[in-house]
Amino acid sequence: MIMRICPYCRCEDTCGREAVVSRPSLDEVGSSPTEVYNACLEFYGHDRTVPDVDSWDLAQDLVRLGYLNSMPRLLDVEHVQELIREVER
């Protein structure tokens, strides 16, 4: 049985953008973790709610507002949010 994991949203295999391989290449993923980190921090400079919003909504906002050119992996967004939370403490 092949497990499909979508790096873009929380679906299992219904959105059509999921990767069949266990670890997708950077070309399949979209924005790199470094780009996501930089975009989140830049956006955080304008909006202090970044660590508190849902990661899916934040990922969409980053693309919609032009901070990123492609949809980031939710895991990368969640990691940056957690980093910001840790620094704020």
Calculated CA dihedral for residues 38, 68, 83, 81, nearest 10 degrees: 150
pTM of the model: 0.66
- Residue 44 counted as domain residue: yes
Instruction: Tell me how far CA of residue 61 lies from CA of 7, 48, 53, 71, 88, in angstroms.
Output: 17, 14, 11, 10, 22
Domain that holds residue 40: 30-88
CB 34: neighbour CB atoms within 10 A?
9
pLDDT tens string 54-87: 999 999 999 999 999 999 999 999 999 999 999 9
Whether residue 3 lies inside any domain: the answer is no
Helix (H) / strand (E) element for 85: namely helix 74-88
Handedness of CA 40, 3, 26, 87 (dihedral sign): positive
Is residue 58 in a domain? yes
Asked if residue 84 is part of any domain, the answer here is: yes
Mean of per-residue pLDDT scores for the chain: 79
Domains in the chain: how many in total?
Answer: 1
Residue 13 lies in a domain: no
